[in-house]
């Protein structure tokens, strides 16, 4: 998946602000933040979207959200609240085909999203 921008950032071939990484997941700052805090937590190994997860990926899915919550807490988002979003496929607005959890906070969000 050499053409995947997120794989390229993870491999340090493309610049990116990596804020967390472990054996399963990597978190970066979104290049076009839509909130005061806008992070993307993603699997280290390429997966297109939730559609491609397998039963054995349960620990990965857990880690994505544990790390998302930890990063939100570290940034003081947990008291007022924050939003986690996964866009899957064209109609949901997924623009990068490497599964990622948006972690957004620091402002009020509305529901339903557009
Ligand atoms: P999606 O639309 O797939 O749910 O989210 C993709 C996100 O990746 C967008 O919020 C977009 O701003 C971000 N993004 C796209 N290209 C890059 C990049 O090269 N570096 C970083 N850090 N974020 C990117
Ligand atoms: Zn990738």
- Count of structural domains, the chain: 1
Is residue 52 situated within a structural domain? Answer: yes
Is residue 78 situated within a structural domain? Answer: yes
User: Which residues, judged by CB distance below 6 Å to any ligand atom, belong to the binding site of ligand 1?
Assistant: 5, 16, 28-32, 40, 87, 93-96
84 CB contacts (<8 Å, ≥6 apart)?
65, 68, 101, 102, 103, 104
| Pairwise CA distance, residues 105 & 103, whole Å | 7
- Furthest-apart CA pair in the chain: how many Å? 39
pLDDT recorded at residue 2? 57
- Which domain does 58 fall in, by range? 5-105
Query: How does pLDDT run across 28-44, given as a tens digit for each residue?
Result: 999 999 999 999 999 99
Compute the distance from residue 80 Cα to the ligand 2 centre, in Å. Answer: 32
Is residue 20 situated within a structural domain? Answer: yes
Residues with CB under 5 A from ligand 2 (ion): 1, 4, 6-7, 46, 98
pLDDT band, very low/low/confident/very high, at 51 (cuts 50, 70, 90) = very high
Is residue 68 situated within a structural domain? Answer: yes
Is residue 15 situated within a structural domain? Answer: yes
Is residue 110 situated within a structural domain? Answer: no
Q: Is 100 a catalytic residue?
A: yes
Q: Residue 38 belongs to a domain with what CATH number? A: 3.30.428.10
Is residue 112 situated within a structural domain? Answer: no
Query: How does pLDDT run across 68-87, given as a tens digit for each residue?
Result: 999 999 999 999 999 999 99
Task: Give the whole-number percent of the chain exceeding pLDDT 70.
Answer: 98
Is residue 114 situated within a structural domain? Answer: no
Q: With a cut of 70, say whether residue 1 has pLDDT above it.
A: no
Query: Range with the lowest mean pLDDT among 2-6, 7-11, 73-77?
Result: 2-6
Instruction: Output the average pLDDT for the chain.
Output: 97
């Amino acid at each position: 998946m050499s053409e995947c921008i997120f794989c390229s950032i993870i491999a340090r071939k493309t610049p990116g602000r990596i804020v967390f990484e472990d054996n399963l997941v990597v978190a970066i700052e979104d290049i076009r933040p839509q909130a005061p805090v806008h992070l993307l937590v993603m699997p280290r190994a390429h997966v297109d979207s939730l559609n491609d997860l397998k039963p054995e990926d349960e620990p990965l899915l857990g880690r994505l959200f544990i790390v998302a919550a930890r990063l939100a807490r570290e940034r003081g988002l947990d008291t007022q609240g924050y939003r986690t979003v996964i866009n899957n496929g064209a109609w949901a607005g997924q623009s990068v085909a490497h599964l990622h959890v948006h972690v957004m906070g620091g402002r009020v969000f509305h529901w339903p999203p557009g």
